[in-house]
Structure 1
Amino acid sequence: MPHAFYKRRQLFFNTIHCVEDIPFERFEDAVNSYNDLAFPQLSDLALSQTMADLCRNWPVGAAPIQVKDPVSSMVPTLILQGAYDRRTPVFMGKRAARELENSTYVLVPQSGHEVWSYAGDCVGQIAGAFIQDPDADLDLSCLVARQPQWVLPRDQ
C-alpha cells in the first residue's frame, strides 16, 4: 500500500507541474533559481530539463496563463520558507510576501521544502503563535540555533 501511495503522489506532483509550472517557465528562470540557492552545488540543474522533457509527453494541457497572476489579499498570511528549498525557491517566497500585503515572511535556516512537520518544534511554535495572534510580533529566537555554524580549517 505505501508504494501505491507514493506512486499516486508522484503522478499528482508531475501533473501539477506539467499543468501550472513547466509550460510557463524558461530555462534561464531555472538557472536564476539555481543561482539563488544558498548551496547550488547541492542541487541538480539538469532536473529542470528532465521535468520539461517529461511534461512534453504528459497527458495534460497547460492551465490558463492566469494561474501565474499575482494573488492579492489582506488576509494575514504566514510564509514559511526553507532556506534550501529547491521546489519553491527563496525568490518565490519573497515574491509572495511582496504580493500579500498582510504577510509575515520567515526564512527557516537549514531547511528544505517541508519546513513544518511537527507542532512542537521551533517552526511549529512560530506557526501556532501566528495562528493565535496574526498581528503579534513573532518570537523567532528558536531559529538562531538553526543557523549554519561554519568552521574553517586552521592555517597550516
Structure 2
Amino acid sequence: MTQATAHFEEWVSVSHPAPQSTVRLACLPYAGGSASFFFPVAKALHPSVEVLALQYPGRQNRFHEPRIDNIPEFADQIFTALRHLDDKPLALFGHSMGAVLAYEVALRMQDAGMPAPVRVFASGRRAPSRYRDERIHTAPDPEFLAEMRALLPR
C-alpha cells in the first residue's frame, strides 16, 4: 500500500462504491460531523455518482486521533487525501465548516495545477467574499433586539 493510498483510506469513507460512475462527489461534513452523515446521500446517488465522505480525525473510527483546529492544516490534509483522484471529474460538497474546507481544497487544487473541481457546492455558509460580524450574540440587549427586528419580514 502506498502512502497516498493509506492517507486516502484514513480520510475517506466510500459506503457505496460506484465504479461505473462518471463523477465523484467528495463530501465534507460540518465541524462536529462525520462521514456517516453522508450515507443517505451516497445511497440515493448510487451508482451515478460515487460519494466520498470525509472522516475527520477525532470522529467515529478516528476518535482516538487528535482533532485538527487549524483550517489551513485541515485543508492540506484533505487535499493530500484527494489529490491522486485524477481518473474522473471531482466535485466538492461542504456543509458549514465543510464548505470552508471545500473552498480551501479547491484553491489548493488550483495552486497545484490540477483540474478544478467540476463544482464546489457550499451549504450552511456564506461565500468567502460576504463578511458579516458574527458576534451579535455578545451585543447588549438593545443592539441584539434591533438586529433580530431587522431580520423580520417586512
TM class by shorter chain equals under 0.3
Highest RCO, 1 vs 2 (Cα 8 Å, sep ≥ 6): 2
Which TM-score applies when normalising by structure 1? 0.26
Which TM-score applies when normalising by structure 2? 0.26
More helix by share: 1
